[in-house]
């Protein structure tokens, strides 16, 4: 079993920032990421609100820069899926073996939440998508629906409008939650229209997706709305199933921490989108990661000093 100072689970913005600070603290650090380094933020084409990049920066470019910066500090990165974590002994069991460390940082992120309506599973990959950046080119000249009302919906609706002939935003409330500047851009786009106070109750088709059933929450009326694709952006669920009954989490599975990113397990810290908080953005995921690495460093130094 390999012994290290620090293991970081997850290689998104939070995990990479934690790795950066751990590397600068000269901790023997291993970062484990089951997908591509950069995590699920790579599903977004551009990050427009990261400080220092007027006009935005391509997400792939920013993540590649962060990865290079981390590697230059000697942090080892492996493609491994974590199966289990023994918090007491700080042993990480992964598909490729087991590792032990003086401290653990969990930065496992979150996955898209599903609508859980009839037809969603059936047409996933055949019209239902959770990533406009990945799948928008398949809908060139077609009509698509995007479900949700936050910033991700606004950004992806604008992106989809470059390919689709029409983009209909369906949201359960009368007002969107997206930032005012993004709402302005949406309303200025002639391809984007809005179906508010409404929900999707079913996704229908034959060989491929053909329509969604839309219920108006004010009138109760139900209508079939013809479309070729449905993009779903209704929030996220934390990637914390491997931690069940091991740490304090809220009802949704987000990890509870204190202001130092410490969990209820000694020597185990959490940061980024897997952590319970009120605001989920790349910039504060990075802030979480820096704090978690600093807390881990102090914990390790204290343990070595005993």
Q: Indicate which residues carry an active-site annotation.
A: 131, 134-135
- Looking at the DSSP bridge assignments, the partners of residue 110 are 238
What are the tokens at 126? 């055949």
CA–CA separation, 285 vs 275, rounded Å? 9
The radius of gyration of the chain from alpha carbons, rounded to an integer in Å, stands at 21
Distances (CA, A) of 15 to 38, 66, 301: 9, 10, 20
Both tokens of residue 269? 């810290």
**Do the Cβ atoms of 222 and 213 come closer than 8 Å?**
yes
Task: Match 């069991």 to its residue by tokens.
Answer: 93
Instruction: Tell me which residue of 212, 270, 285, 252 sits closest to 39, measured CA to CA.
Output: 285
Calpha distance 159→246 (Å, rounded): 40
In angstroms, the CA 282 to CA 280 distance is 7
How far is residue 233's CA from residue 129's CA, in Å, rounded to a whole number?
A: 9
Token couple for 237 = 């669920």
CA distance 92 to 84: 6
């Amino acid at each position: 079993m390999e012994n290290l100072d620090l293991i970081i689970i997850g290689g998104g913005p939070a995990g990479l920032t934690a790795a950066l600070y751990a590397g600068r603290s000269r901790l023997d650090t291993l970062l484990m990421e089951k997908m591509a380094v950069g995590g699920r933020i790579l599903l977004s084409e551009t990050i427009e609100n990261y400080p220092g990049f007027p006009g935005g920066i391509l997400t792939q470019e920013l993540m590649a820069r962060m990865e290079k910066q981390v590697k230059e500090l000697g942090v080892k990165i492996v493609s491994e899926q974590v199966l289990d974590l023994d918090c007491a002994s700080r042993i990480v069991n992964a598909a490729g073996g087991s590792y032990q460390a003086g401290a653990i940082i969990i930065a496992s992120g979150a996955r898209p939440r599903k609508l859980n309506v009839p037809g969603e599973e059936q047409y996933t990959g055949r019209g239902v998508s959770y990533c406009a950046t990945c799948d928008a080119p398949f809908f060139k000249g077609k009509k698509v629906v995007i479900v949700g009302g936050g910033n991700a919906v606004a950004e992806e609706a604008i992106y989809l409008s470059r390919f689709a002939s029409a983009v209909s935003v369906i949201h359960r409330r009368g007002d969107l939650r997206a930032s005012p500047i993004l709402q302005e851009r949406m309303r200025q786009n002639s391809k984007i229209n809005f179906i508010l106070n409404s929900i999707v109750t079913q996704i229908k088709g034959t060989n491929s997706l053909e329509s969604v059933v839309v219920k108006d929450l004010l009138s109760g009326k139900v209508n079939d709305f013809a479309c070729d694709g449905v993009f779903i952006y209704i929030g996220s669920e934390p990637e914390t199933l491997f931690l069940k009954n091991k740490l304090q989490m809220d009802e949704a599975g987000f990890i509870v921490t204190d202001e130092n990113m410490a969990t209820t397990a000694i020597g185990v810290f959490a940061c980024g989108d897997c952590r319970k908080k009120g605001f989920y953005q790349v910039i504060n995921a990075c802030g979480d990661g820096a704090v978690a690495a600093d807390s881990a460093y102090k914990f390790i130094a204290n343990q070595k000093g005993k």
